């Protein structure tokens, strides 16, 4: 089955029709900058433009940068606060005319990595950690998702993990790889102590440069870079929509 997957990020909205059996794209990926401010009206209009680009008439899955419960937006860290409390699934459905399902963006990326990527062979517990503007997480046990985790907010050195070891902190504070890598290691060790996973998958834009900082990681848990990179959110959003809407 082919589903249109849309991954809404802080700077860009990326989309492609996805063959949910294989995780492959049926057309080239399309990207539109995320509007700023990221208000409901502006983002809904952008999603509609993506749907029109593909002349899409079927199911849509959207990876959304917030906690999502029954299609309702519960948080708004990097989007306009007007989203909180809105049934975003219904709003996108009304704008596009297509059945739509929302899932947290890192949950979507994790689904794809567990199904087709770096976590494919792991049958136990997996944590996906996406280090970018903040730190997003998703947790899986025997391939099943525990949704909407916010483990970027666990405390490390008396501050939130994402305020201590996100990729944006590295950039803003101009940290060298060794300094940032050791901070990220502290964050991952805190996760390890609390949850004892079998595998940690590191995603987000920083994962492209994993060779620069993996040397500073010192965990008992196996840590690997994400395989699907920027495509993971698109693929996972499509997988989630297929499961919920068919």
Distances (CA, A) of 102 to 6, 63, 177, 178: 10, 6, 35, 37
- pLDDT beyond 90 at 133: no
How much is the pTM?
0.96
Measured distance CA(33)–CA(84) in Å, rounded: 22
Q: What is the mean pLDDT of residues 227-234?
A: 94
Per-residue model confidence as pLDDT tens digits over 81-103 = 999 999 999 999 999 999 999 99
pLDDT of residue 117: 97
What's the pLDDT tens digit per position in 115-126? Answer: 999 999 999 999
CA distance 86 to 72: 5
Give dist(CA 58, CA 3) in Å, integer: 7
Biggest CA-to-CA distance, the chain? 50
Find the mean pLDDT for residues 37-57.
97
Closest by CA to 110, choosing from 130, 124, 94, is: 130
Report the pLDDT averaged over residues 32-44.
Answer: 95
Tens digit of each residue's pLDDT (9 = 90 or more) over 156-196: 999 999 999 999 999 999 999 999 999 999 999 999 999 99
- Pick from 245, 244, 246, 232: which is nearest to 18 by CA? 232
E strand or H helix at 208, and its extent? none
Distance CA 38, CA 82 (A): 9
- Name every residue whose Cβ is closer than 8 Å to that of residue 95 and which is 6 or more positions away in sequence: 44, 45, 47, 48
Average pLDDT for the chain:
96
**Which stretch of DSSP H or E encloses residue 169?**
helix 167-172
Query: Domains in the chain, start-ordered, CATH in brackets?
Result: 2-107+231-245 (3.30.420.40), 122-226 (3.30.420.40)
Whether pLDDT at 204 is above 90: no
Nearest by Cα to 234 from 151, 94, 116, 97:
116
Q: How many C-beta atoms lie closer than 10 Å to residue 122's C-beta?
A: 19
């Amino acid at each position: 089955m082919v589903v249109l997957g849309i991954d809404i990020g802080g700077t860009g909205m990326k989309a492609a029709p996805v063959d949910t059996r294989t995780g492959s794209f049926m057309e080239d990926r399309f990207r539109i900058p995320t509007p700023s401010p990221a208000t409901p009206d502006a983002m809904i209009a952008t999603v509609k433009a993506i749907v029109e680009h593909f002349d899409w008439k079927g199911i849509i899955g959207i990876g959304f940068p917030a906690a999502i419960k029954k299609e309702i937006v519960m948080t708004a860290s990097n989007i306009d606060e007007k989203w909180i409390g809105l049934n975003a699934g219904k709003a996108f459905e009304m704008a596009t005319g297509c059945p739509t399902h929302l899932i947290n963006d890192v949950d979507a990326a994790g689904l794809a990595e567990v199904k087709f990527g770096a976590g494919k062979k792991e049958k136990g517990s997996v944590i996906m950690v996406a280090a970018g503007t903040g730190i997003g997480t998703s947790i899986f046990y025997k391939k099943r998702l525990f949704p909407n985790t916010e483990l970027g907010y666990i405390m490390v050195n008396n501050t939130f993990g994402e305020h201590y070891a996100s990729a944006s902190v590295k950039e803003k504070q101009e940290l060298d790889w060794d300094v940032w890598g050791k901070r990220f290691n502290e964050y991952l060790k805190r996760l390890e102590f609390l949850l004892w996973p079998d595998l940690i998958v590191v995603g987000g834009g920083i994962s492209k440069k994993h060779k620069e900082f993996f040397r500073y990681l010192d965990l008992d848990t196996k840590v690997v870079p994400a395989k699907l990179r920027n495509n993971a959110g698109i693929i996972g959003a499509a997988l989630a929509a297929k499961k919920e809407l068919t």
